[in-house]
């Protein structure tokens, strides 16, 4: 089953205690697409500038991502620059240049308007709504967001959430969105806005998944070396939704496995800069780390 993603394709300049990259391929839709492509066919809707070359498209093509929805506009590609300190949990943004993204009017190719799984990656909630209106055939709608939109467009975001089935959001953001410090109550508040499933991303502390009456908690994989956390959340979303799509519409029963798959993809994502680790990732490596997650979390009944 195909997934359609709309989000950013960007050039990232990132510095961490372990190195740096300049104008490396990044953006929420890019990281999502590469990760999801291990599991399901991916259709990408985004905009880039005239400085986006064939070489920049190549990693997406190598992963069989369908880029028929990647339009080129006059101007420069979106750029982001950030630095991580010793605490790799959050980046300090040095510079954001919207460039072609400032006037982005996403247009979903006609043939894609019945894509069954739609992922609205972290962009302006008004653009997310615009895409949602076009993909009328979507059976499952998932969305991400960030503090910037919670602050600046809370009403547009809340309107959008009324039509979102699965919200992926980090712990700080769900507290900000709901004004609830307690995560269980924050999730309940979000579900009253619309999403029936909520995935709370907690960075190095793992992930919490609430769906129906079920709660699932998974720690993050304890890594000895984290090079660059950029894209971890999008790689998680790619694995999570890519796996669900691969299971067909019954996929909703597989939310637990999907969260483990997402965590596997995110754990590899942070092992190198930009797309470098996922571009050389193999299926045996994925299966190996999934098995290690089982070993990491297993325990016996009380006797």
* Binding interface with its own copies (CB under 8 A): 86-88, 181-185, 202, 204-206, 208, 214-219, 222-226, 256-257, 259-261, 287, 290-291, 294-303
Min CB(146)–its own copies separation in Å:
21
Specify the residue, 10 or 218, whose C-beta has the smaller distance to its own copies: 218
Specify the residue, 141 or 177, whose C-beta has the smaller distance to its own copies: 177
Min CB(237)–its own copies separation in Å:
18
Specify the residue, 84 or 101, whose C-beta has the smaller distance to its own copies: 84
In angstroms, the Cα distances linking 253 to 59, 129, 150, 197, 245 are 32, 27, 30, 12, 12
Q: Quick check: 197 and 166 in contact, CB under 8 A?
A: yes
Min CB(264)–its own copies separation in Å:
9
Min CB(294)–its own copies separation in Å:
7
Q: Quick check: 100 and 122 in contact, CB under 8 A?
A: no
CA atoms within 13 A on the CB side of 128: 29
Min CB(25)–its own copies separation in Å:
27
Within 8 A by CB and 6+ apart from 300, the residues are none
Distance CA 241, CA 252 (A): 10
Specify the residue, 58 or 294, whose C-beta has the smaller distance to its own copies: 294
Specify the residue, 31 or 289, whose C-beta has the smaller distance to its own copies: 289
Which residue is associated with the tokens 């979390």? 297
């Amino acid at each position: 089953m195909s997934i359609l993603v709309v989000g950013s394709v960007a050039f990232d300049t990132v510095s961490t205690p372990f190195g740096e990259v300049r104008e490396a391929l990044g953006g929420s839709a890019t990281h999502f697409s590469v990760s999801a492509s291990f599991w399901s066919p991916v259709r990408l809707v985004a905009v880039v500038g005239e400085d986006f070359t064939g070489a920049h498209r190549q990693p997406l093509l190598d992963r069989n991502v369908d880029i028929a929805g990647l339009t080129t506009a006059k101007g420069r590609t979106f750029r982001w620059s950030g630095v991580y300190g010793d605490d790799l949990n959050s980046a300090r943004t040095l510079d954001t240049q919207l460039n072609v993204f400032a006037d982005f009017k996403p247009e979903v190719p006609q043939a894609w308007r019945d894509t069954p799984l739609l992922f609205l990656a972290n962009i302006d909630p008004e653009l997310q709504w615009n895409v949602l209106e076009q993909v009328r055939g979507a059976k499952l709608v998932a969305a991400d967001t960030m503090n910037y939109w919670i602050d600046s467009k809370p009403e547009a975001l809340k309107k959008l959430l009324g039509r979102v089935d699965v919200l992926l959001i980090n712990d700080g953001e769900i507290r900000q969105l709901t004004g609830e410090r307690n995560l269980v109550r924050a999730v309940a508040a979000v579900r009253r806005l619309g999403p029936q499933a909520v995935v709370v991303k907690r960075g190095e502390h793992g992930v919490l998944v609430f769906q129906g009456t079920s709660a699932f908690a998974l720690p993050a994989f304890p890594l000895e070396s984290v090079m660059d956390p950029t894209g971890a959340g999008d790689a998680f979303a790619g694995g999570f939704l890519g796996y669900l799509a691969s299971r067909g519409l019954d996929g909703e029963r597989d939310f637990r496995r999907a969260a483990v798959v997402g965590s596997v993809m995110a754990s590899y994502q942070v092992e190198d800069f930009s797309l470098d680790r996922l571009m050389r990732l193999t299926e045996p490596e994925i299966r190996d780390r999934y098995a290690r997650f089982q070993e990491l979390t297993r325990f016996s009944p009380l006797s």
